[in-house]
Amino acid sequence: MREIVLDTETTGLDPLRGDRLVEIGCVEIFNRMPTGQTFHRYINPERDMPEEAFAVHGLSGEFLADKPVFAQVVDEFIEFIGDAPLVIHNASFDVGFINAELGRLSRPAIVRERLVDTLLLARRKHPGVSNRLDDLCSRYAIDNSRRTKHGALLDAELLAEVYIDLIGARQSQLILTENVAARAHTAGDTPRRQRTVPLAPRLTEAEQIAHREFVATLGDKPIWAEFSSDAS
């Protein structure tokens, strides 16, 4: 099954008050394994960057000034995500911004049924504790040392690892690998069945004599001698 792990960065917290997308990062996973396929775009929000948002992700208005606007990347984005389920941490936040951008372009919104909210999954599995992405990385021993600031693609990559652990898929893969290795080891220890009646030789006596004469021309220790029944 194909799924897309998605994260965004924005100019603020509320798309209904003029806040806009500034970055989208997506990671493709197939059967709960990352495929290496990603989608990543910086987006010109066509407005200023508040200091509070800059402190979170470090994307300045100057940096984003020459980046494409959402209308220029929307087709690539929609093609990449296709109809796959979207795995998002606190999905209502990210999808709220994406749907606001889609709405400005009169494009269909992303429906709630497509969403897999890892924050809700984490709260069910780990109630009563903090379930931020950093907390989950620590809980599942996932290296997030590169995450000095928020970044959409890096956060999507980390979330993909968290998601696999959160739903127990990594443990299932480990058990499957161990079972396959055990079966291979057992198969190697199984005695081979022997024929009760040997197969009749397919070579004529003349062909065998010709082969021995040919081997004799190959030197003192030809490799064929190791397989010859009359080798000394």
Residue 232: predicted pLDDT: 43
Catalytic residue among 57, 89, 150, 211: 150
Listing DSSP states for 93-110 in one string gives: HHHHHHHHHHHHTTPPPP
User: Using only C-alpha atoms, what is the Rg of the chain?
Assistant: 30
The residue with tokens 């004599």 is 209
Largest CA distance in the chain: 95
Listing DSSP states for the chain in one string gives: -EEEEEEEEESSS-GGGT--EEEEEEEEEETTEEEEEEEEEE---SS---HHHHHHH---HHHHTTSPPHHHHHHHHHHHHTT--EEETTHHHHHHHHHHHHHHTTPPPPPGGGEEEHHHHHHHHSTTS---HHHHHHHTT---TT-SS--HHHHHHHHHHHHHHHTTHHHHHHHHHHHHHHHHHHHHHSPPP--SSPPPP-S-HHHHHHHHHHHGGG-SS-GGGGG-TT--
* Residues facing residue 23 across a β-bridge: 9, 42
Kindly report the CATH class assigned to 2-171. alpha beta
- For residue 129, report the phi and psi dihedrals to the nearest 5 degrees: -130, 165
Q: Residue 81 and residue 83: Cα distance in Å, rounded?
A: 6
Residue 205: predicted pLDDT: 81
Is 126 in the active site? no
User: Over its length of 232 residues, how does the chain's per-residue pLDDT go in tens digits?
Assistant: 999 999 999 999 999 999 999 999 999 999 999 999 999 999 999 999 999 999 999 999 999 999 999 999 999 999 999 999 999 999 999 999 999 999 999 999 999 999 999 999 999 999 999 999 999 999 999 999 988 789 999 999 999 999 999 999 876 555 544 554 555 555 555 555 666 677 777 778 888 888 787 777 777 766 666 666 554 4
Among 205, 194, 200, 230, smallest CA distance to 215 is for 230
Residue 231: predicted pLDDT: 46
Among 98, 86, 92, smallest CA distance to 163 is for 86
